[in-house]
Copies of this chain bind each other. A is one copy, B any other.
Amino acid sequence: MTDSILGDLLNRSQAKILLLVFDGLGGLPRPGTGKTELETARSPHLDRWAAEGATGLVDPVGPGITPGSGPAHLALFGYDPIGENVGRGVLSALGAGLEMTKRDVAARINFATRGADGNLIDRRAGRIPSDEGRRVAGLLADGVRIDGVEITVRAEKEHRAVVVFRGDGLGGDVTDTDPQATGVPARAAEAHVDSPAARRTADVANDFIRQAREILGGEDRANEVLLRGFAGWNPPPSFREKFGLRAAAIAMYPMYRGLASLVGMDVLPEMPSIEAEFEALPKALAEHDFVYLHIKQTDSAGEDGDFDRKVSVIEKVDALLDTVDRAAPDVVMVTGDHSTPSLMKTHSWHPVPLLMRGGHTYVDDTREFGETACRRGALGRFPSRHLMAQALASAGRLDKFGA
């Protein structure tokens, strides 16, 4: 991989880069029109940028893999979304809107069903509905108490939840308790390195599990918790270290603020609206080399299956893009973290439209920004995690490799 040489090639160029992320941008064609949300939207700014630059498609994680926002954003930020050792617990905690500190260890919870003999009957508690998941997560949040440890439990979807243990001397090197089989008991959490922090955290986790069994004793289905993906706050190399960029994040939702903070971006104060996000852009660009601006509402509309609303979010943002033209970043990238087709009402694995403009970006014959046009664009189709290197190159921030 080129990751190993990138650091050596960084030069002192001051060119500025904007990454505009429409969450869940990619869509599927609406039967009847054959056009996706992006293709349906009237977006004269985006179409002009596509004409002035080049388009392509990016794959967030891999063929057929539907990513959550955590891995999808890590990939856009230039990190390996599978191999990066951020910790599944941390991504879940960020996804659940929890902020993490260096004193925290997060783990994913699966509610499960345990028989009278103590053996597991169902590792997913019959995939209880999300309502029930929220209720039992609430019981744990209210009921579990451990000396010297602050405990936060937050439900995710169905049988999944996340717990964050906050306290001194905790560490993420703890084994999963899910035995990956039924007919056997859950495992105890164990330190998988020989450190006081790991041993202390395993004790805390086992105490949590013991209390959870008491609290959930009367439940038909969710009467057991399996913990996995223990992880402390262990950020990867920062944007500054990796790409030589002072980076700022403009994002309204906790997950994205958390991810930006994970990679060492300056996270601007929360904004009340999309308009406010764009108003904050010129100053952020003036003070940084790189700005990540996140639009959540395309994803929300897609998740709701509201094709027209997703179209109108894109149109609304397009109407604000004069601000970008005026702030004049050297290189602009517009893409999504993943697809969220309104027709599916959920994230999907389909590749995501990308446009890049400015600097030494190739100027292709694409005249609009949409899935079909992007399929034929000069940037081709490639994994999202290779986007950052191409942005740095277009911005003139990378020297030649070898003589």
Contact = CB atoms under 8 A, between A and B. Distances in A.
Contact of A402 (B9, B62, B70): B70
A403 B68 contact: yes
Interface of A: 1-2, 4-6, 9, 28-29, 31, 34, 57, 61-72, 81-82, 88, 91-92, 94-96, 156, 255, 341, 343-344, 346-351, 360, 362-365, 371-372, 375-376, 378, 380-382, 386-393, 398-403
A398 B64 contact: yes
A93 to B, nearest CB: 9
The 8 closest A-B pairs by CB, nearest first: A95-B403, A64-B389, A2-B62, A68-B402, A63-B386, A64-B393, A71-B402, A64-B390
Count copies of this chain in the complex: 2
Contact of A403 (B70, B82, B388): B70
A82 B5 contact: yes
A350 B376 contact: no
A2 B63 contact: yes
Given A1-B62, A68-B401, A92-B402, 16 more contacts: A2-B82, A5-B82, A28-B360, A29-B362, A57-B380, A61-B401, A62-B386, A64-B389, A71-B401, A95-B402, A346-B400, A348-B360, A362-B371, A371-B378, A375-B376, A376-B376
Contact of A28 (B344, B349, B363, B381): B363
A403 B69 contact: yes
Contacts of A350: 362
A9 B386 contact: no
A64 B386 CA distance: 8
